[in-house]
């Protein structure tokens, strides 16, 4: 059927300058014909299955303990490269972190990585924690400077401690042959004097012995890809793994992003508009948004992702499935 047979005369005639029909008037067809062509994202089976890692936080209550281990058991069959466990500001969750990491090493098939910070402890005390991890069979540390304790505006190094993450990395390497991951900030750490200074700091951590960088979460894929270009130009060649945050509570994420320097694009607010009392739809929006982000990164050649689970498994599991990751068959 000819759908244009009854179009008003002149609306779709070719203009004299050779522009496709309809384009000169700025109508819908013109926009379609003159807009950029974007190739479709590859399907999951068209790309290599990427390596994944997941991040958990230590539970504060019995109910949260159950939620954590439910999340662990749900994601364990996906055989991630490793799973990390966070550390509170000022080292406030040190014992809970250690207990969680030790249990992961003891009772699961997962490879745990413990967060360790410089804050609130002498170098000797931090070294003792690292040795406890080594004795528990933990060989992977996520080495961080750490945030200032609650109520303090600025980070101040412990007078007898490691001042910065690069110092911590060097200290860990003296204790044992740890695999060490460090943090990277595509949008620049809030305390950095400039993007260049922030990149120099990342280079110092790598030069001290770190084997991988994991980024703060971001929502603009171009920001991350430009950061990779800058890192390579600075002589950084270790993997810089994108940190992916599935967003189901937009209000909380926007508040936290303001503190850590992550830009929240306006389109995200539009996606979640009107869903404050509709958690089911929020989860569907979150899954769709995160899936689009990871597939776009994968189309750009990224083959490893670190997913911030917030101890909720469903969104992380869905992302993994879209990327082609399937449960490992039980032996």
C-beta of residue 244 within 8 angstroms of C-beta of residue 294:
yes
Q: 55, 76, 125, 196: which one is catalytic?
A: 55
Q: Is 196 a catalytic residue?
A: no
Taking CA 308 as the corner, what is the angle to CA 81 and CA 216, rounded to the nearest 5 degrees? 100
Q: DSSP per residue over 277-330, as a string?
A: T-HHHHHHHHHHHHHHHHHHHHHTT--EEEEE-TT-HHHHHHHHHHTT--PPPP
Residue 238's SS3 state is coil
What lies within 8 Å, CB to CB, of 198 at 6+ separation is: 185, 188, 189, 192
Helix (H, G, I), strand (E, B) or coil at 169: helix
Give the Cα separation of 320 and 81 in Å (integer).
13
Helix residue ranges per DSSP H, the chain: 28-34, 62-75, 94-107, 123-135, 165-175, 195-207, 221-233, 250-260, 266-272, 279-299, 313-322
The residues carrying an active-site annotation are 55
């Amino acid at each position: 059927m000819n759908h244009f047979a009854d179009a008003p005369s002149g609306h779709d005639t070719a203009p004299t300058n050779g522009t496709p029909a309809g384009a000169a008037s700025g109508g819908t067809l013109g926009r379609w014909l003159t807009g950029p062509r974007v190739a479709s994202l590859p399907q999951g089976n068209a790309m290599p299955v990427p390596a994944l890692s997941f991040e958990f936080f230590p539970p504060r209550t019995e109910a949260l303990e159950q939620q954590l281990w439910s999340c662990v058991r749900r994601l364990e069959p996906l055989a991630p490269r490793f799973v990390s466990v966070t550390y509170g500001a000022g080292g406030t969750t040190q014992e809970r972190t250690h207990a969680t990491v030790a249990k992961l090493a003891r009772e699961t098939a997962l490879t745990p990585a413990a967060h360790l910070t410089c804050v609130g402890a002498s170098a000797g005390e931090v070294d003792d924690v690292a040795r406890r991890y080594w004795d528990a069979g933990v060989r992977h540390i996520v080495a961080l400077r750490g945030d200032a304790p609650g109520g303090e505006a600025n980070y101040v190094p412990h007078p007898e401690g490691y001042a910065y993450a690069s110092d911590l990395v060097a200290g860990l390497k003296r204790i044992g042959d740890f695999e060490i991951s460090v943090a990277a900030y595509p949008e620049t750490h809030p305390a950095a004097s400039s993007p260049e200074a922030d990149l120099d700091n990342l280079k110092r951590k790598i030069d001290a012995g770190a084997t991988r960088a994991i980024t703060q979460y971001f929502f603009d894929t171009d920001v991350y890809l430009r950061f990779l270009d800058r890192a390579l130009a600075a002589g950084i060649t270790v993997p810089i793994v994108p940190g992916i945050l599935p967003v189901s509570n937009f209000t909380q994420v926007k508040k936290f992003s303001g503190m850590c320097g992550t830009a929240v694009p306006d389109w995200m607010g539009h996606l979640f508009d009107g869903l404050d009392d509709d958690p089911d739809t929020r989860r569907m929006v979150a899954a769709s948004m995160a899936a689009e982000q990871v597939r776009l990164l994968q189309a750009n050649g990224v083959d490893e992702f670190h997913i911030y689970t917030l101890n909720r498994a469903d969104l992380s599991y869905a992302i993994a499935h879209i990327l082609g990751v399937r449960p490992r068959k039980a032996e």
